[in-house]
Amino acid sequence: MFDAALLPLQRRLLAPPARWLHRRGVAADWITLAGFVIGAAAFAAAATGAFGLALLGLGLNRLADGLDGAVARIAGPTDRGAFLDIALDFVFYALFPLGFAIHDPDANALAAAALVTSFVGTGSSFLAFSIIAGKRGLTAHDYPQKGIYYLGGLTEGAETIVFMALLCLLPGLFAPLAWAFAAACVVTTLTRWLAGWRSFG
C-alpha cells in the first residue's frame, strides 16, 4: 500500500552504497543470494527463540533486497536478477512464520499455516497478473523500473516488513498478529483477482 510512496526515498538512501558496491565489482545477484542466506538464518533464529537475531536477520535481508535492485540499475538489470529476486523473496516470506511455528507449534502452528496460505494467495495472484501483463506489454506506472509488472495491494513489502518486525518484538502475540495479517492478505488477493478480471476480460 505504501511501497510506491516510499520508493523514491529508498532509492536516494541506497544509491550511495550501491555505487560503492558496484565500483568494487559486487554483482547484484550475489547480493540477492547473500540476502537469502541471511534470511534463512533469521528463520533459524526464530525457530530457536532468538527473536532479536531474527529481527536483525530480517533487517539485513530486506536491506539486501533493496541493494540488489539499486546495484542492478547501475550495472544494468537482467532477467536472471529479476527472477532470483522475486523467487527467493517468496520463499523467505514463507520461511519466516514457519520459524515461529517450529518454536511453539501448540500456540503458533495453525496461525502460521493460515498466514503462509494467505501468502500463497497474494504471491500467486501477483505473479499471475505479472505474467499476463508481460504478454500484453503492460508496464506498472508506479514501478516502471521493476523487472516484472508489479501489482500493488493492501499488503505490500513495507507492510510485510513492519508486520514481521512486530512478530520479533512481540513473539507472544504471534497468533493474533498472524491471523490479522492473513486477513489483510486475503483482501489483497481478492483485489488482485478483481484487477485481473477487469484488466484481462
Quote the pLDDT of residue 192: 93
Number of structural domains, the chain?
1
Residue 67, pLDDT score: 95
Residue with cell 546495484: 71
Average pLDDT over residues 148-174: 89
- pTM of the predicted protein model: 0.86
pLDDT(153) > 90:
no
CATH number at residue 73: 1.20.120.1760
Residue 144's Cα: distance from chain center in Å? 18
From the list 185, 177, 138, the residue with the least C-alpha distance to 157 is 185
Q: Enumerate residues 6+ apart whose C-beta is below 8 A from 147.
A: 72, 77, 79, 81, 82, 83, 85, 86
- Containing structural domain, residue 68: 3-199
Per-residue pLDDT, 151: 76
Q: Which three cell numbers stand for residue 153?
A: 495491494
Q: What is the pLDDT of residues 43-53, one digit of tens each?
A: 999 999 999 99
Percent share of the chain, pLDDT over 90? 72
Is it the case that residue 167 has pLDDT exceeding 70?
yes
